[in-house]
Amino acid sequence: MPPSSPNFSSSVKLKYVKLGYQYLVNHILTLTLIPIMAAVLIEVLRMGPLEILNLWRSLNFDLVQILCCSFLIIFVATVYFKSKPRTIFLVDYACFKPPNTCRVPFATFMEHSRLILKDKPKSVEFQMRILERSGLGEETCLPPAIHYIPPTPTMEAARGEAELVIFSAMDSLLEKTGLKPKDIDILIVNCSLFSPTPSLSAMVINKYKLRSNIKSFNLSGMGCSAGLISVDLARDLLQVHPNSNAVIVSTEIITPNYYQGNERAMLLPNCLFRMGGAAILLSNRTSERRRAKYRLVHVVRTHKGADDKAFRCVFEEEDKEGNVGISLQKDLMAIAGEALKSNITTIGPLVLPASEQLLFLLTLIGRKIFNPKWKPYIPDFKQAFEHFCIHAGGRAVIDELQKNLQLSAEHVEASRMTLHRFGNTSSSSLWYELSYIESKARMRRGDRVWQIAFGSGFKCNSAVWKCNRTIKSPSDGPWADCIDRYPVYIPEVVKL
């Protein structure tokens, strides 16, 4: 629940009090050290230089002691440096820009819908209402096979879409980073709903002729949060293998999963999911330190599968007529909120500044001991992060998170605009959002980014990145030709 807002003048005074408090708590170490250093300085000045020289001469070391001390220091230093986790850099990433021929404006979508579901006008109307309130724009894209009436989801068409999306993104990544295919040590591909044999990772290895001792993994079924799961796996692998490059390909292949029935809960994904993909290069090589865009700070994964309701809320099943589709339950938002709370509980202590943590602790103690009626303190995550990338799962998800985390419209602008321009591209949407922030030239060195994604299961995964260098607005990329038009105003309901 948001705290009640007091009237204007007292709110200004409160703001200064809050600022002072934050400054005090966050810099407590420096503030306590200053008087100590001042005292030492005064003492030194009082003693005078001659006395200090005498003090130095009175120290008596012999060879063995010096040797022992120096060995110990060197040993401890080496152990410390060796046991530090390796820094993982995000060198660069590339998002797939769908061709204009695949565009699905509202009119096309509704026309298709009317033709395919011609004897079910109620379902057509349902889809229209969803589309009106979806927050999607007119430039989202669906794969070519889905443009057919009726759609032709053969395995060959699905492979065609996979090749189009993945190879475009990979080509773009290799060009941007100058990476040679032979230098890729780890390859992780995640695509939830399409896993042909041989895997999509084998397809990438075949196309780019990657090395035979590459460590490849093909994750699937892990939903819209699979991109961050791949980042987690890459991070763990890069800790073990020094001097390595890891390429992650995140995508969702829509062709085989277009629902062809008329169950309402299953028609929803048809309206929201769109074609998209991204390829990301991670590295732990120190030579990439200067070139890398971001540094990975934390990845936190939360899985709510143990709870039956959470498990069932996004479920792939057959309807009465045998058509396979993904049904979304009505309590999706509530479960997403719960999962987010669990994730925040873990990530909060890692990223929040000391001032927020102290406040949270005090209110917690206060509620437990003094008065349970005190409102729970929601930590201000705007203190910890400059940018937020919330998975563009749908308008409702973004609204819910904006309310829960008390974010301003500018913070969620990247998510809303990505939903408008590209639709819900599943695991790759986070990368489109990051690209939006970079295209708007808002990314400065030292900025912290929080990527949050939800997925079926029910999972909530988040990743924290720190910007390594100020990024100039890129001349290529998915937003290059349209960034000047954004942000657009997205009305509540678009009349169709």
Residues 45-104 touching other proteins, rule: CB under 8 A, are: 63-64, 67-68, 71, 75, 78-79, 82-83, 85
Give the one residue of 103, 133, 289, 301 binding other proteins; rule: CB under 8 A. Answer: 301
* φ and ψ at residue 256, rounded to 5 degrees: -75, -5
Choice from 198, 242, 366, 446 touching other proteins (CB under 8 A): 198
| Contact between 480 and 421 (Cβ < 8 Å) | no
* 3-class secondary structure, 294: strand
Q: Which part of the chain contacts other proteins (CB under 8 A), choosing from 114-122, 362-370, 390-398, 452-460?
A: 452-460
Tokens of 374: 């005190």
Contact 174, 181 (CB under 8 A): yes
CB-based burial, 256-278: b 16+ in 10 Å, e otherwise: bbbbbbbbeebbbbbbbbbbbbb
Tell me the closest approach of the beta carbon of residue 407 to other proteins, in angstroms: 24
Give me the least distance between CB of 344 and other proteins, in Å please: 13
Please state the closest distance from residue 454 (CB atom) to other proteins, in A: 12
Residues 325 and 269 sit within 8 Å (Cβ to Cβ)? yes
User: How many residues in the shown chain lie near other proteins by CB under 8 A?
Assistant: 74
Catalytic: 224? yes
Q: Exactly one of 257, 313, 391, 467 is catalytic; which is it? A: 391
Residues 333-352 that bind other proteins (CB under 8 A): 342, 346
* 318, β-bridge pairs: 324
Amino acid at 155: M
Stretch in the footprint of other proteins (CB under 8 A) among 34-42, 93-101, 203-211, 349-357:
203-211
Closer residue to other proteins (CB): 237 or 419: 237
Three-state DSSP state, 302: strand
Q: Beta-carbon neighbour count of residue 472 at 10 Å?
A: 10
Distance CA 380, CA 399 (A): 17
From candidates 7, 213, 371, 475, binder to other proteins by CB under 8 A: 213
Question: Interface with other proteins includes 317 (CB under 8 A)?
Answer: yes
- What is the longest distance spanned by two Cα atoms in the chain? 101
Q: Which is nearer to other proteins, 54 or 206 (CB)?
A: 206
Is there binding between residue 462 and other proteins (CB under 8 A)? Answer: no
Q: Which amino acid is at 269?
A: P
Which CB sits closer to other proteins, 43 or 62? 62
In the structure encoding, which two tokens stand for residue 406, read together? 């008390």
| The one catalytic residue among 411, 420, 460, 468 | 420
Active site (catalytic) residues: 224, 303, 387, 391, 420, 424
